[in-house]
Structure 1
Amino acid sequence: MRGILFAFLGGACITLQGVANTRISHDIGTWQAATVTQLTGFILAALVWMVTRDGHVAEMKQVKPMYLWGGAFAAIIIFSEVTAIQHIGVTFTISTLLISQLCLTFLADIRGWFGLVKQKMKLPQFIGIGMMIAGVIILKL
């Protein structure tokens, strides 16, 4: 249950962040909005880390360098999301974003990328993604 609550919180924050970043980008530019967002995200994460004292800086050396690209992905996510919202609106952007995420996570699960245990996807999972895609198409009409 806790995981579902955090997933809802994360989803809500993704939407709110996209709308806020779109507004910021109108005032100062898209890459500037991505920079401000990354900076404020870093500050909040650092503050939470300092308050919770969860982990040590030395543990960062154990992270594979390939995975450190996560922050760079975040900048691209922000830019892409803001640009999409400006062109197709919030609802269609978030719907399309979720389908993209699901399709890529299917690949990651099926192929065992990033050290994940390979998962077998069955017909119901593929039907579910198909229904989501159909729903987004209907939503756009």
Structure 2
Amino acid sequence: MTTAPLYSLIAFLTGGLLTLMVLTNGTLAVYGTLLFSSWVPHVTGTVAALAILAVLKPKRAKPLRPPLWAYLAGVGGAFTVMLTSATVNTSLALSGTIALGLAGQVVFSLFADIRGLFGLPKKRPSARDLTALGMILSGALLLVLMGGSQ
């Protein structure tokens, strides 16, 4: 399966935005609390989403309701923001937080593929998947264990 270069660029830029978001939320945690660092971006995002919906007035693709577990994404997002806001202000710093977060995402996504979670088709990891996982974990460990030494 070939991915269009534009989609790869968008995904890469999204990673940069995610890093900026973690830094900003970590800064909010320094001046407030972990709950405050999660509350501000969620309220801001809600207001922005409502404004965009009001302007664009998109039509629903399907009149079907999503599964109930899909509504829990906000809870996971709130905890993710609070936990990353806490870890970015430790010796892990921004790069360690992002690296370990990426490693956790890849591990969980492979687990979800293997088990067929969330309605995904079951898929065994390929040698390429496992090699990529090993490289990501190695890079994360290098950043965490060697990142602070001069």
Q: Which residue of 2 aligns with 1:64?
A: 67
Q: Which residue of 2 aligns with 1:20?
A: 24
Question: C-alpha distance in 2, partners of 1:137/1:33?
Answer: 27
CA displacement, residues 41-99 of structure 1 (integer Å, 9 cap, x when unaligned)? 1111112222222235x94x612221100011110010010111011100010000000
1:132 partnered with 2:136: yes
Greater share of helix? 1
1:77 partnered with 2:77: no
Q: Which residue of 1 aligns with 2:39?
A: 35
Question: C-alpha distance in 2, partners of 1:52/1:72?
Answer: 27
Question: C-alpha distance in 1, partners of 2:59/2:114?
Answer: 31
- Which 4+ residue blocks in structure 1 deviate beyond 3 angstroms? none
Question: C-alpha distance in 1, partners of 2:53/2:115?
Answer: 33
Shift of 1:130: 0.8
AA at the equivalent of 2:37 = A
TM-score w.r.t. the length of structure 2 is: 0.85
- SS of 1:95's equivalent in the other structure is helix
Structure 2, unmatched stretches of 5+, are none
1:86 partnered with 2:89: yes
AA at the equivalent of 2:45 = G
Q: Which residue of 1 aligns with 2:116?
A: 112
AA at the equivalent of 1:39 = V
Task: Let me know the Cα RMSD of the aligned residues.
Answer: 1.7
